[in-house]
Structures are given as structure tokens and as C-alpha cells.
Structure 1
């Protein structure tokens, strides 16, 4: 592959990722269903991670989500105020706390996840199962590359 072709391909990738983020945000804002609005994006991401990974302390959450600790602390405080997470003493560090989702938090997260899954099902209805699998795999690889890049 020539350098010019590679640069052209990388330019297309950059443009498509920028558009993906722009259209994704516009779609999230414009979606009229209440399920999409019961959690803001940050709360959804935190609850999804807690549901998958189990109880976490703020620093582990911040590291995994590539966010500043004070940002996560603010978001966790808002989630706690809304009854969506609980804090309990950290068994490995008695001075710290771990955050866990409450049943209400898991229920809201699941409602948003289901609504988003339906939305993508509608948008990708005319894609073959193979194309959807390929998209999922490539997006997973892109996200992992972004995680690896942000750890440097």
C-alpha cells in the first residue's frame, strides 16, 4: 500500500469517526422515547460498567472510563442522590468506598440499553447479519485501540 493511499484511508477514517460521534450525539438528543432520557450518557456508561465489572472504587472507575477522578466523584454523587448507586466500605481499604448499582439503577440502565438496541436494530435492519457482526468486531477493535492509546 502506498503512503498516499494509506494517508487517504486514514483521512477517511478520521472523517467517518468525527461524523459518527456527531450523528450519534444528534441521534441520542433527538430520540423521542422516554427510555433514552432516563439517564444521561455519563450515568449510563458508569452503570453499564458497574453492571459488567461489579463494585468499583472511584479511582478504578475513573481509570477504566478514562475520566478525571473529580468528574467521576461528581457523577457518582448525582447517581447516589437519585438512588441509582450505593457506596459501601471498600473491603481492601477501610478508608475508601466501593460503588455498586442499586436495583433501580440497573433497571434504568437496562431500559436505556433495550431502547438503544431497538434503535440500532431499526437502523441496521437491512444490513446482513455478517455485516452487523463485522461492524461490532471493528468497533470493538477501535475502542480497544482508543483505550490502549489513552493508557500511554
Structure 2
């Protein structure tokens, strides 16, 4: 008797699980972030976001990471002590706090981005340019779909963090 071929959605679910497992390994995190980086993935995401999109209010960052403001305050405080970000009152509302990346944070972002590019170039060395483009297009589409799904408010998702 021939075994049934798994459907596409089942394979995608397994691949997402595998990606989560593989990208959480210490070696992969070092390869993608750079050998000198000792920050958590969450901390690096914040440094990357501020480097790429510029200063943001503390409340915007908390919403972006789907955490409470108190959690964001703690995270920003840690990065501030490391000299990677800085806080200042918002120019248009002195009660609000704006977080920006420092030169050290920007340099860390650039070094980690270069490390990730080197790692992916090595991992995909035997892929053709067309295969790399197809992967990039598919991953971009997947990320856009995930963002859309997670930003949709419904009863089922109202308590997600």
C-alpha cells in the first residue's frame, strides 16, 4: 500500500517548526548576528528596527513587539546601559519617550547584517540566482502574510502576545 503524500499545508507547518528550531540554535544565532553579539534575538530585533526605521516612541515599540510598555521599558533600559540606544522626551509631547539607536547600536546592526549576509551566502552557495530570488520572493510573501494575520484582531487572537 502506498503512503499518502502530505498536503502542502502540512509540509509548511512542519517547515515552520523546523525553521523555528534551527534558527534558535546558538550556532545559527551567532552565524546570523556575528560572533561578538551577546544580545538576545529580541534585543537584536529592537536594535535592527531602530537602525532601519529611525526613532520611535516607546508605545510604538511595545505594540510592534506585542509586549506591555513595562516590558519594553525594561528592554530599552538594558540596551541603554549597553550604549546601544538612547531615550529622550518626544519633541511634540514631553510626556512621551522616543527611543533612538546610538552610533554603537548602528554599528552593531551593520556588523550583524554583514554576518547574516555572509552566512546566507555560504549556506546557499550551491543555489542558482533564480533559486535565491524565488526564495526571497516567497519569504517576503510569507512574512507579509504573517504580519497581516497577526495584526488581524479577532476573538481568537485578542489575547496573543
Q: TM-score range by the shorter chain?
A: 0.7 to 0.9
Shift of 1:132: 1.0
Match of 1:69 in 2: 69
Match of 2:16 in 1: 17
Shift of 1:68: 3.4
Question: Partners in 2 of 1:47 and 1:127 — Cα distance?
Answer: 30
Match of 1:54 in 2: 54
Aligned partners of 1:39 and 1:108 also within 8 Å: no
Name the one with the larger helix percent: 1
For residues 3-40 of structure 1, what are the alpha-carbon distances to aligned partners after superposition, in whole Å with 9 as ceiling and x for unaligned? Answer: x98x8110100000110111111242564x623x3432
Question: Partners in 2 of 1:62 and 1:141 — Cα distance?
Answer: 24
Aligned partners of 1:38 and 1:112 also within 8 Å: no
The Cα RMSD (Å) is 2.0
Match of 1:99 in 2: 99
Distance 1:115 1:149, change over 3 A: same
Question: Partners in 1 of 2:88 and 2:119 — Cα distance?
Answer: 35
List runs of 5+ in structure 2 lacking aligned partners: 153-161
Match of 1:45 in 2: 45
Match of 1:90 in 2: 90
Query: Paired residues, what number?
Result: 146
Question: Partners in 1 of 2:28 and 2:136 — Cα distance?
Answer: 19
Question: Partners in 2 of 1:151 and 1:11 — Cα distance?
Answer: 23
TM-score (norm 2): 0.81
Aligned partners of 1:58 and 1:73 also within 8 Å: yes
Question: Partners in 1 of 2:45 and 2:72 — Cα distance?
Answer: 11
For residues 90-121 of structure 1, what are the alpha-carbon distances to aligned partners after superposition, in whole Å with 9 as ceiling and x for unaligned? Answer: 12321011000000011112111111111111
Asked if 1:147 corresponds to 2:143, the answer is no
